[in-house]
Amino acid sequence: MKFSKYHALGNDYIVIDPKNLNEQLSESNIKAICDRHFGIGSDGILYGPEESNGCNFSLRIFNPDSSEAEKSGNGLRIFSRYLWDQSLVSYDEFTIQTKGGVVSSTVGDKGLSVSVGMGKVRFTHEPTGEPKPSPETINIKGKEFTYYQANVGNPHCVILLDEISSAFAIEYGSIIENDSRFSNRTNVQFVKVLNDASIQIEIWERGAGYTLASGSSSTAAASVAHALGLCGSNISVHMPGGIINIKLNKQFFATMTGDVRHICEGDISSEALSSL
């Protein structure tokens, strides 16, 4: 099984092209490949390109726990870079169908930077949209948090704090992700507003755990900060892995731009797939 591996600000994904497989990936395959001790190690698998009736390409995204994600901003940038490396796209805009909706993508700087139109951000996890974020409270380990829901094709819980840290995200992220009020679990962002044009976030990603960077989390956090009047419409999102730029229009359509780097190409041994 051939693979390509990339990272987007430390958020690493393995791209597996369906044409290189004789059958669909199983749950055990996904877990084995993503395992950092027994497999290659990654924050997820990008399975594509697949055919799409309405778009140029279709993509499926799997978390390390084998659950399927609706959308991943970093994953989409990596997948776009893979398509560019395979000479399937040029510098012109193209579209990708995901479980969380259609996105448009543009590759720049010889593949080193990718911009993705993430779609309209909604401030609810429900099918219908909300015009602005509404504060809600959640009590975790005796500590009360105010949070805001956001939806970028996948669910997010945005928590604004004066100070944030990786240890804090790890301590509280998993509990919030799996709280019963979130019917399909949730991604969690702990956010510190730095100034009108920048925020800092720590991320707990649904199905993956603590993550160095996330495109959809950056989009959700920046959108909430802008909607609350804490930031303008052009926001630099600072994460442990690096910086993503988010631009929002008046209807909260978000465009995300960030770096992508190619790591390696290889073949996955059948022994690795049967090791877990």
Find out whether 144 and 136 touch, Cβ atoms under 8 Å.
no
Domain assignment present for 125: no
Q: Would the pTM of this model clear 0.75, i.e. be above it?
A: yes
**Total number of domains in the chain:** 2
Please check whether residues 146 and 202 belong to one and the same domain: yes
The domain in which residue 91 lies consists of 2-112+260-273
CATH number at residue 269: 3.10.310.10
> How many angstroms separate the Cα of 17 from the Cα of each of 35, 57, 183, 225?
19, 12, 31, 37
Domain assignment present for 53: yes
Domain assignment present for 70: yes
Find out whether 1 and 271 touch, Cβ atoms under 8 Å.
no
Please check whether residues 140 and 230 belong to one and the same domain: yes
Domain assignment present for 127: no
- C-alpha span between 218 and 240 (Å, rounded): 12
Please check whether residues 35 and 107 belong to one and the same domain: yes
Domain assignment present for 131: no
Domain assignment present for 121: no
Find out whether 172 and 142 touch, Cβ atoms under 8 Å.
no
Q: Look at residue 139 and give its three-state secondary structure.
A: strand
Could you tell me which residues are beta bridge partners of residue 205? Answer: 209
Could you tell me which residues are beta bridge partners of residue 157? Answer: 149, 188
Please check whether residues 142 and 69 belong to one and the same domain: no
In a 13 Å sphere around the CA of 88, the CA atoms on its Cβ side amount to: 19
Q: Look at residue 73 and give its three-state secondary structure.
A: helix
Domain assignment present for 126: no
Please check whether residues 176 and 71 belong to one and the same domain: no
pLDDT at residue 276 in the model: 54
pLDDT at residue 275 in the model: 59
Taking the chain (276 residues) in runs of 10, the rounded mean pLDDT of each run is 96 96 89 94 97 95 96 97 97 96 96 96 85 93 96 96 98 97 96 98 97 97 98 98 97 97 94 72
Cα-only R_g, the chain: 18
pLDDT at residue 272 in the model: 83
Query: Is residue 145 classed exposed, middle or buried when 0-12, 13-18 and 19+ CB atoms within 10 A define those classes?
Result: middle
Please check whether residues 252 and 264 belong to one and the same domain: no
Please check whether residues 108 and 32 belong to one and the same domain: yes
pLDDT at residue 130 in the model: 73
Domain assignment present for 124: no
